[in-house]
Amino acid sequence: MRGGMLIISGPSGSGKSSLMHEMFKKIDNIYFSISTTTRGKRDGEAEGVDYHYISKEEFENDIEEGLFLEWAKVHDNYYGTSLKPILKSLHDGKLVVFDIDVQGHKIAREKFGDSITSVFITTPNQDELSKRLKNRGTDCDEVIEKRINNALSEMTRVREYNYVLINDNFEKTLEELTAIAISSRCRVHLLDTEEFISSWVS
């Protein structure tokens, strides 16, 4: 079996980060895709935890060689999703998990096709999302309104995903997400079927 890819998307406030954190405790042999950047490491940050930190020259060389799933330049620093750790993890048979938005999902689909299993996590309705964002107490009303508008736009892309989870009960949603992650590793296209059949009949 080769490694698989699981993309998790959803509006800010849907609970996807908390769900992933708990899911990682239940499943072994996972690689969580971490962004790569050319900006300096800040106090309290760690390599391979917050970002992968590389030089501007290395980043630009990797761009030329097509080794980024996606990238952007922000305030004279590069940020992107490097394919190098992803491809290594897939080769090692790991499940690669991405927390990316709907546009990132589209790009990943174009590159990897059916190798990807995707899940969209959301709240039961817009009012519940607004309530959760306000209860977090981390954003002003203007930012919350922007997040709600982004969520409305993201909801129009739900049909592009394999699964949709309505996070109205955390433990139930965690159980469902974990089951999807486990089953994503058993998809037949991840199996070298000719080699498997040959070894099975021998």
Give me the CATH number covering residue 49. 3.30.63.10
- Provide the number of structural domains found in the chain: 2
State the pTM of this model. Answer: 0.81
87 and 128 share one domain: no
Residue 25: which CATH number?
3.40.50.300
Q: Do 104 and 197 share a domain, yes or no?
A: yes
Same domain for 6 and 61?
Answer: no
41-52 tens-digit pLDDT: 888 889 988 889
125 with 185, same domain: the answer is yes
**Alpha-carbon distance 33 to 199, whole Å?**
33
Instruction: For 171-189, write each residue's pLDDT tens digit.
Output: 999 999 999 999 988 775 5
Could you tell me if 15 and 49 lie in one domain?
no
Q: Are residues 142 and 109 in the same domain?
A: yes
Residue 105 shares a structural domain with residue 179: yes
Check whether residue 1 and residue 80 sit in a common domain: no
Least confident residue range of 8-12, 16-20, 26-30, 71-75:
71-75
Q: Can you give the residue range of the structural domain that contains 180?
A: 1-29+95-202
Residues 147 and 115 grouped into a single domain: yes
Name the band, by pLDDT with cuts 50, 70 and 90, for residue 17. Answer: confident
End residue of a domain, out of 92, 118, 142: 92
pLDDT digits (tens, 9 = 90+) for 143-160: 889 989 989 999 999 999
